[in-house]
Structure 1
Amino acid sequence: MPRKRRTDDGDELLTRLGSLTAQAREHAELQRSRVELAIALQRDMLPAEMPAAPRYHLAVRYAPACHGLNVGGDWYDAFTMPDGRIGLSIGDVQGHNIEAAAFMGQVRVGLRALASVTSEPGELLTRTNDLLLSLGTELFATCTFMRLDPSTGVLEGARAGHVPCVWATADGRSGIVDGTGGPPLGIQPGTTYPVTRHRLTTGGMFVLLTDGVVEGPLLEVDEGLDQVVRLAGVAAVAGMTADSLAAAVIKGADRVGHEDDAAVLVLGYDGPDVQP
């Protein structure tokens, strides 16, 4: 009799193990499907092509976070506004799941829609902040929005809790864009966002990025930004293309030890088309 009970116990244990294995497999397949859906949302919500302007060059790189079940909500965007200027945005949604990926799409579309009402960067971020608060979600996003006037090379921008931009000129100067920003979008009602101004010169480079490029367990954000400043400075002096600089910056993101999205948007300027 004792031997029979041990056999019955063993059969019951194997049955339970089989059931648990099946449940674990089903759960893993469900999570994998959610990640694949989130990645598909990310890809579909990012712009298929960049706007064109004579003597200006736009280049982007994007590395989604696919570590385990983490899927982030970084985005970049560039589009021509009704007044003929070009809008550039880059940002990062809090969270690493399908909800973050979907919210990213809402922020990006909201910025585009409101840019048809006002292209002034500070007011645009204020309106977008109010729009996101009206949705009643607990998510928030950091963001930088820039407005380029192709006729003058002037860039005007505002930041909502986002890492600053980097600039470089062909004569060897480079640095981080000065100026304070406001809080992230979707947190505080009635927020205003200061506007900074920068002028591109011949051979100049301007870099927008997300924190996944410059900050992580192995790298402080200040050190990461300094690395991008050096890369941009070398690229501008050497006459490298915007695409080459974007590739170099995103490659540097491998050294930060993060499990986050990484996005880079580079704007290069050839200079005025002067006729003899």
Structure 2
Amino acid sequence: MSRMRPADDGDELLTRLGSLTAQARERAELQRSQVELAIALQRGMLPSDMPTAPGFHLAFQYAPACHGLNVGGDWYDAFMMPDGRIGLSIGDVQGHNIEAAAFMGQVRVGLRALASVTSEPGELLARTNDLLLSLGSDLFATCTFMRLDPSNGVLESARAGHIPCVWATADGKSGIAEDEVGPPLGVEPGLEYPVTRYRLTTGGVFVLLTDGVVEGPLMNLDEGLDQVVRLAGIAAVAGMKPASLAAAVIKGAERVGHEDDAAVLVVGYDEPDVQP
């Protein structure tokens, strides 16, 4: 014999469903607000202008991760240092949340502040590493810092666990920088970071980037770097402006199928060679 469910049971079920729906909507709104806050935090911390020097041109492109709740901690930066040289940094904080975005700001500000104490790239990364450890965070960051001397085109580079940069010259040569890499920032105290010297010649470019540009589900790191090497080589031979090269590199990042931030910083030189 069938038994009829009382009408008030149905009303109770509808009430519960309505409550669950409202809670889900509230959580979705909270999560969306957190993502919007993190993206605003990212954009507020990243520079909108690049320093200038005769013959040298800097350009950047940045695409934040906006897939679900993924908000990464990639950054780029360029600034004039007290000794008249230009500091260039690019990096990636572990994690994809608002904490990563905030930590990114700490790293970037730390590099700028400590550059007033020392502009030597290896020492600067070592001091920044110790500073981050003193903050007691569980996060860490990879980073490349370069010091550009506009008087002679010399670039001095130090890497903390970050992917290598790409270079190209106007005579058709291009490749991946083969400098030695040290550990990421914020992992272990008392580290040293080796420095490698390069020199920009007329029509040459250096491309600094984060792994979201060259690595993802559809492309491994080596393939992604080779793609940027080809783009940089074509750009240097064709005399393409750094801004156009940066745009082409960030466009190519779509092919890796990434769900990560993607940042590109390009430095180019178009004046006659200067002697050291």
**TM-score scaled to structure 1, two decimals?**
0.97
Q: Is residue 255 from structure 1 mapped to residue 243 from structure 2 by the alignment?
A: no
**1:95 maps to amino acid:** G
State whether residues 213 and 262 of structure 2, in contact with CA within 8 Å, keep that contact through their aligned partners in structure 1. yes
Q: Once superposed, what is the RMSD of the aligned Cα atoms?
A: 1.2
**1:35 maps to amino acid:** V
Partner of 1:101: 101
1:172-220 superposed Cα distances (whole Å, 9 cap, x missing partner): 0000111221111000111111111110011001100000000011111
State whether residues 144 and 162 of structure 1, in contact with CA within 8 Å, keep that contact through their aligned partners in structure 2. yes
C-alpha distance in structure 2 between counterparts of 1:242 and 1:130, whole Å? 34
State whether residues 164 and 177 of structure 1, in contact with CA within 8 Å, keep that contact through their aligned partners in structure 2. yes
Q: Is residue 73 from structure 1 mapped to residue 76 from structure 2 by the alignment?
A: no
Mapping 1:205-224, distance limit 5 Å: 205-224=205-224
Partner of 2:112: 112
Mapping 1:22-41, distance limit 5 Å: 22-41=22-41
Partner of 1:44: 44
**2:243 maps to amino acid:** D
Partner of 2:62: 62
Partner of 2:203: 203
Deviation at 1:2, TM superposition (A): 4.6
State whether residues 119 and 147 of structure 2, in contact with CA within 8 Å, keep that contact through their aligned partners in structure 1. yes
C-alpha distance in structure 1 between counterparts of 2:102 and 2:91, whole Å? 14
State whether residues 207 and 266 of structure 1, in contact with CA within 8 Å, keep that contact through their aligned partners in structure 2. yes
Mapping 1:82-97, distance limit 5 Å: 82-97=82-97
Distance of aligned partners of 1:89 and 1:130 in 2 relative to their CA distance in 1, 3 Å threshold: same
SS in 1 for 2:227: helix
C-alpha distance in structure 1 between counterparts of 2:212 and 2:6, whole Å? 55
Deviation at 1:48, TM superposition (A): 2.0
The runs of 4+ residues in structure 1 deviating greater than 6 Å are: none
C-alpha distance in structure 2 between counterparts of 1:115 and 1:224, whole Å? 31
C-alpha distance in structure 2 between counterparts of 1:222 and 1:116, whole Å? 36
Deviation at 1:11, TM superposition (A): 1.1
Mapping 1:257-272, distance limit 5 Å: 257-272=257-272
Partner of 1:246: 246
| Percent of aligned positions that are identical | 84
Aligned length: 273
1:122-175 superposed Cα distances (whole Å, 9 cap, x missing partner): 000000000000000000000000000000000001000100000000000000
State whether residues 71 and 101 of structure 1, in contact with CA within 8 Å, keep that contact through their aligned partners in structure 2. yes
C-alpha distance in structure 1 between counterparts of 2:273 and 2:189, whole Å? 44
State whether residues 163 and 211 of structure 2, in contact with CA within 8 Å, keep that contact through their aligned partners in structure 1. yes
State whether residues 55 and 273 of structure 1, in contact with CA within 8 Å, keep that contact through their aligned partners in structure 2. no
Partner of 1:128: 128
C-alpha distance in structure 2 between counterparts of 1:221 and 1:90, whole Å? 17
**1:172 maps to amino acid:** G
Mapping 1:6-21, distance limit 5 Å: 6-21=6-21
1:65-122 superposed Cα distances (whole Å, 9 cap, x missing partner): 0011111110000000000000000000011111100000000000000000000000
**1:41 maps to amino acid:** L
State whether residues 88 and 145 of structure 2, in contact with CA within 8 Å, keep that contact through their aligned partners in structure 1. yes
- Can you give the 5+ residue segments of structure 2 that lack an aligned partner in the other structure? none
State whether residues 203 and 270 of structure 1, in contact with CA within 8 Å, keep that contact through their aligned partners in structure 2. yes
Deviation at 1:258, TM superposition (A): 1.0
Deviation at 1:273, TM superposition (A): 7.5
**2:7 maps to amino acid:** T
C-alpha distance in structure 2 between counterparts of 1:257 and 1:120, whole Å? 36
C-alpha distance in structure 2 between counterparts of 1:12 and 1:109, whole Å? 55
C-alpha distance in structure 1 between counterparts of 2:141 and 2:224, whole Å? 21
C-alpha distance in structure 2 between counterparts of 1:10 and 1:95, whole Å? 45
C-alpha distance in structure 1 between counterparts of 2:192 and 2:49, whole Å? 31
State whether residues 158 and 196 of structure 1, in contact with CA within 8 Å, keep that contact through their aligned partners in structure 2. yes
State whether residues 57 and 269 of structure 1, in contact with CA within 8 Å, keep that contact through their aligned partners in structure 2. yes
1:228-265 superposed Cα distances (whole Å, 9 cap, x missing partner): 00000000000100011000000011011110000000
